[in-house]
Amino acid sequence: MANMLLDYSRRVEAWSKLQHTFALDLKEWRYDAHGRLIRFSDYGRRDSEFGWELDHYPIPKSLGGTDDMSNIRALHWRGNATHGGLLGLGLASLSKQEKQPGLGGLFGLYSKS
């Protein structure tokens, strides 16, 4: 029960960071960082045109990103799936030595310098 409550409060906090439109109910409708319309009640639903998920941003979890709310945002599920896929493809091509903390750039795939 406590985990469900924590998960719900994280969703509400991520939701509150998003832009909204006055033409639609702001409790139910928002725009994600990519401008996609999402619906609060469609959280976790990849079968919905308006489904969304919690995304680790700006530092992906696979590159050491934390679950702290400063690293979490609400994102349409298609955007989240695309980021994960791109990150997976990029990381698959790197050697273990190249997958170190401190990398920057797009998804942390090249050095900061």
Is 73 part of any domain?
Answer: yes
Is 113 part of any domain?
Answer: no
Average pLDDT, the chain: 81
User: Which pLDDT does position 62 carry in this prediction?
Assistant: 81
Is 103 part of any domain?
Answer: yes
29 HSE (CA, 13 A, CB side): 9
Is 61 part of any domain?
Answer: yes
Residue 106 has pLDDT above 80, yes or no: no
pLDDT tens digits, one per residue of 76-95: 999 988 877 666 555 544 55
Is 67 part of any domain?
Answer: yes
Long-range contacts of 45-49 (CB under 8 A, 24+ apart): 45/77, 46/77, 46/81, 48/77
Distances (CA, A) of 89 to 29, 30, 57, 93, 110: 32, 30, 18, 7, 14
Is 46 part of any domain?
Answer: yes
How many independent structural domains does the chain possess?
1
CA distance linking residue 88 with residue 80, whole number of Å? 12
Highest mean pLDDT among 59-63, 78-82, 109-113: 78-82
Residue 104 has pLDDT above 90, yes or no: no
Q: 0.75 exceeded by the pTM? A: no
Is 32 part of any domain?
Answer: yes
Question: Which residue range forms the structural domain that includes residue 74?
Answer: 2-108
